[in-house]
Amino acid sequence: MHFPNLIPPLALASLATSFAMPVVANDLLPIDHGRYVQSQHECSDPKGSMLFIYDGKGVKSAKTSCTLSNVTQSGNVYQFDESCSYYHRSWSILPTTVTDYKSRLEMLNNREFVLKRENENLEMTDQYRWCSAE
């Protein structure tokens, strides 16, 4: 028996798999890429706010670059290790300090979340929201 209009099984499996994959498979966190600001500040005037950019692999700001690793998920909560390099001198190519955090991100939606960072010296919790694409 020959069915000329039947999609070959391998092609069908490949097609089904392509629809099941996330749009950006390499993202460590399911938040939108772009600029984030602490929720109590305006996007147009983020003075005094922690402003950072998420690119799918880590976060960065004017003088900081953080890499994420060991990401785990339970519901809408993501836990991960964060290693942040701080560049206190604008001309420096080497970080002045490197700080490691145990971080916890609770998603409110794809563009808003609560982030808790802690290590042996510090504990910070802030709510952030998306402002714009980079």
Asked if residue 15 belongs to a domain, the reply is: no
Asked if residue 93 belongs to a domain, the reply is: yes
Asked if residue 114 belongs to a domain, the reply is: yes
The residue type of 40 is Q
Supply the pLDDT for residue 92. 65
Whether the CB-CB separation of 37 and 46 falls below 8 Å is answered with yes
Asked if residue 106 belongs to a domain, the reply is: yes
How many whole angstroms separate alpha carbon 100 and alpha carbon 86?
Answer: 11
Asked if residue 12 belongs to a domain, the reply is: no
Q: What is the number of structural domains in the chain?
A: 1
Q: What is the pLDDT along the chain (134 residues), one digit of tens a residue?
A: 444 444 443 343 333 333 333 334 578 999 999 999 999 888 888 776 677 899 999 999 878 899 999 999 999 999 999 999 988 766 666 768 889 999 999 999 999 999 999 988 889 999 999 998 87
With residue 13 as reference, give the H or E element that holds it: helix 9-20
pTM here is 0.73
Which domain range does residue 92 map to? 27-132
How many whole angstroms separate alpha carbon 75 and alpha carbon 67?
Answer: 22
Asked if residue 91 belongs to a domain, the reply is: yes
Question: Beta-carbon neighbour count of residue 38 at 10 Å?
Answer: 16
How many whole angstroms separate alpha carbon 74 and alpha carbon 11?
Answer: 34
CATH of the domain at 49: 2.40.128
Whether the CB-CB separation of 35 and 132 falls below 8 Å is answered with yes
